[in-house]
Amino acid sequence: MKVTGIKVTQQSHPLSRRMGEARLPAGRLTESCCIMELMTDAGLTGIAIGSEGVRAHIGELVKDVLVGADPRGVRGLWRRMLDARSAHRHGRYLHEAIALLDVALWDLKSKADDQPLWKTLGGARPKANAYASGVDLALSDEELSAWYVATAHDYGLRGGKLQVGLDPDSDLRRLGLMHAALTQATADPVLMIDADECWSPKEAIGRTREIEKRFDLTWVEGASRSWDFPGLKQVSNAIRAAVCVGEGFTTCGEFLPHFHHRSADVIQIDIGAIGITGALQVADSAFGYELPVTLSAAPGNIHAHLSSVMPYFMSLEVIDPVPAARFYTSDVRIEQGWAIAGNAPGNGLVVDARALTRTATRAKASR
C-alpha cells in the first residue's frame, strides 16, 4: 500500500456555542478547519481534521515525504517528517501539519489492518474517563449552567473544566454554577480550572488558593506560561491542586523541562499538535515519571482510541459530545461519563462528501 496524494478541504462552520477563554473573552462563534483525506493506491483514505493554518505545509510534506511510502510505517514516517523539516524550529502550524498527517496515517494503518484504531494500537475496553470542557468564558451564567446541566444529564459527564482568570468573583460564582450543574451526574463533581496562561505564578497561587478555600480542584491548567517551568513548579508547590501542562505542545522535547523539574503534575497531550505517534511517546515518558496523562479535545473525540494503551491515562476532554460540524461523523460516543470508541475500522471519522462540497470555503487537491 502506498500513499498517492492528499485532498485538503478548507471549511468554516458554526460552533455549538460561543467559545471564549481568558485571552479571547468575547469568544467566537465560528471555526475554520481543514479536512485532510490522505489517499492510497489500495483505495483506502486516511482522515484527519485540524486547524486551517496547517494548509500551507500539508502539500509539500506529502509530496516530499509521504507519496510512495507505505502508511503502515507511520512511526518511521512521523520521524521522517520531523527530520525533513528539522531546520524549521518551533513552526507551530508545521508541527500541527505533521501531527495531522500522523493521525491520517494511523487511520490508514488501522484501516489496512481492518481494525478500529484502538485495537491496532493494542488497546482494549475503549471506555475512557471523560470530562466536560465548556470553553465557556464568553457564556452568560444562564448559558453556562445550561451547558453543564446538559452534559451532565445527557452524557453523564462527572467533571467540568471552567475557563477562569479575569475576574476572581465571577470565577468563584461560576465555579459554583458548574458544580451545581454537574451534580446532575454525581454527588462529587470533579472540578478543574483553566486560566489560559493569563496569570503570573504569584497570581496563580493567590487566585487558586482563594478558590481552594471553597472548592476542591483536581487541576489548574494554564496557570502560567507553558514554558515557565520554574514558575509552574512554584505554583505546584504552593497549591493543593495538580498543575496541568502540555496543551498544544508539538514535540516530545517541550515536555522535557517539565518532566525533569517536576513542574507538571498532570501531563496534557494534544494529538492535534503532536500526533498519535508523539502522544504515545509522551504518555510512556509520563508513565516513567508516574505522572497521569490527560488528552486535549480532538475533533470527533477520536482521542478516546488512545486511552487504553496509555499506562497512566487519567481523563480526556470533551468540548462537543457530538461534532458541531455537519460534514463529518464520528464513531466515538459519549455515554454515562465515558468516551467509547466503536468498532468501525480506523479512527471512525467519516466525511460526508456531499455536505463537504456544499459548504467548502475552498477546496484543493494536490498530488
Partner 1 sequence: MKITGYKVEPYLMKMDRLVGDANLPSGVEMLPGSILWLETDENVSGISLGYGGGIESLFGAIEGADPREVAALWIRMNDVLHKGGNEGAASAALSAIDTALWDLKAKLADEPLWRMLGATEGRVKAYASGLDYCLSDEELFAFYRRMAELGIDSGKLKVGLDLKADLRRLGIMRDALSIASARPGLMIDSNEYWSPKQAVRYIRQIEEHFDLIWVEEPARRWDYDGLRLVSQQVSAAVASGENLHSLSDIYPLIANHSVDVINVWTGQSGVTGLMQIAHMADAHGLQVSMMNAQANYMAQIAAALPNHNMMEVVDPGREHCLKWDSRIEDGFIVLGDAAGFGIEIDEAKLKALQANPPSGRGKFPFPRREGAGRYIVPPAPGEVPWRSGR
Residues that bind partner 1 (CB under 8 A): 69-70, 72-77, 79-80, 109, 113, 115, 119, 121-125, 252-253, 255-256, 259-260, 277, 280-282, 284-285, 287-289, 308-309, 311
CB of 283 to partner 1, least distance (A): 8
CB of 102 to partner 1, least distance (A): 10
CB of 123 to partner 1, least distance (A): 5
- Comparing CB distances to partner 1, the nearer of 201 and 246 is 246
H helices present in 30-189, as ranges = 55-61, 74-84, 92-112, 117-120, 141-155, 168-182
Count, residues in the chain: 367
- Comparing CB distances to partner 1, the nearer of 7 and 72 is 72
- Comparing CB distances to partner 1, the nearer of 208 and 281 is 281
- Comparing CB distances to partner 1, the nearer of 112 and 242 is 112
Name the helix (H) or strand (E) containing 358.
helix 353-359
Phi-psi category of 23—alpha, beta or left, where left has phi over 0 and alpha has psi -120 to 50? Answer: alpha
CB of 75 to partner 1, least distance (A): 3
- Comparing CB distances to partner 1, the nearer of 115 and 329 is 115
For the beta sheet containing 3-21, the strands, ordered from the edge strand earlier in sequence to the opposite edge, are: 45-51, 24-40, 3-21, 362-366
- Comparing CB distances to partner 1, the nearer of 45 and 308 is 308
CB of 171 to partner 1, least distance (A): 34
- Comparing CB distances to partner 1, the nearer of 48 and 319 is 48
Give 198-202 contacts, CB < 8 A, sequence gap 24+. 198/22, 198/23, 198/165, 198/166, 198/222, 199/165, 199/223, 199/224, 200/224, 200/231, 201/228, 201/231, 201/232, 201/234, 201/235
Residues in CB range of 235: below 8 A, 6 or more apart: 201, 204, 205, 208, 220, 223, 224, 243
Q: Is 192 exposed, middle or buried (0-12, 13-18, 19+ CB in 10 A)?
A: buried
CB of 338 to partner 1, least distance (A): 15
CB of 194 to partner 1, least distance (A): 24
CB of 367 to partner 1, least distance (A): 21
| Strand pairing report for 190-194 and 313-318 | unpaired
Distance of CA 172 to the CA centre of its chain: 26
Cell of 11: 471549511
Per the CB < 8 A criterion, the answer to whether 194 and 204 are in contact is no
- Comparing CB distances to partner 1, the nearer of 24 and 252 is 252
